[in-house]
Amino acid sequence: MSRIDAKFAQLRADGKKAFVAYVMAGDPDYDKGLEIVKGLPDAGVDIIELGVPFTDPMADGATIQLAGQRALEAGQTLEKTLQYAREFRKNDDTTPIVMMGYYNPIYSRGVDVFLKDAVAAGIDGLIIVDLPPEEDEELCIPAQAAGINFIRLATPTTDDKRLPKVLQNTSGFVYYVSVTGITGTAEAQAGDVAPEVARIKAKTDLPVIVGFGIKTPQAAENIASIADGAVVGSAIVDKIGKGESVADVLAFVKSLADGTHRG
């Protein structure tokens, strides 16, 4: 059983929904970014989404783009992001880590080399936003064979004809993008999201986690009430970008986690 599967089994047993927090590795710099990541489990985070900075982040809004720029300017690389996982695993062997980003840095490193390094570092899942199901042979299938979950995005435009293709080789959980467009823009509405989550859950036994447009503890609670959990990224990254202290960032994360766990 993967760490992700084990986490969801534990949450189900506890009657809780999953809180997933996204942060950009290396933002605002290596040391402060790592301190935040290490503090996430104690703030109530069930699964960590670790962003890999990239020069052309087409799916991301301004907040995440700026975080990526800060990280790149501070010298963050794919290797240093793997090092985050290695450092984290010294003290935590249960919290799942999902790397989220784009295919180019992985392709440049070499898929086989990357997967070997990712497994050794303790990475549990991948979300690669620019690899559609038609490209599963590139990374998805090799990742699954290596024991890493490959998590797919479903969106409001994923119709019933497309959905089976999206779900075909997905594992870990399904990430439902609650709003059309880029990260950090429109606000997710539980009433709009509920029928979409139900539609996906009718086609898969995997947990369905909702992200994009969740900015407050109340919004996280509302979304968690109709899904298996909530993802918050831009709202957390915005606090980091404003230079808030690690303690203040983690206090905000805890408020989001508490909201989700009430859902």
Instruction: Point out the residues that are catalytic.
Output: 49, 60
> What gap in Å lies between CA 199 and CA 221, rounded to an integer?
20
Among 95, 84, 82, 90, which residue's Cα sits nearest to residue 3?
95
How far is Cα of residue 55 from the mean position of the Cα atoms in its chain?
Answer: 19
DSSP code per residue over 93-159: SSS-EEEEE-HHHHHHH-HHHHHHHHHHHT--EEEETT--GGGTTTTHHHHHHTT-EE-EEE-TT--
The total of other beta-carbon atoms located within 10 Å of residue 110's CB is 11
Identify the helix (H) or strand (E) that includes residue 67: helix 62-73
The total of other beta-carbon atoms located within 10 Å of residue 135's CB is 13
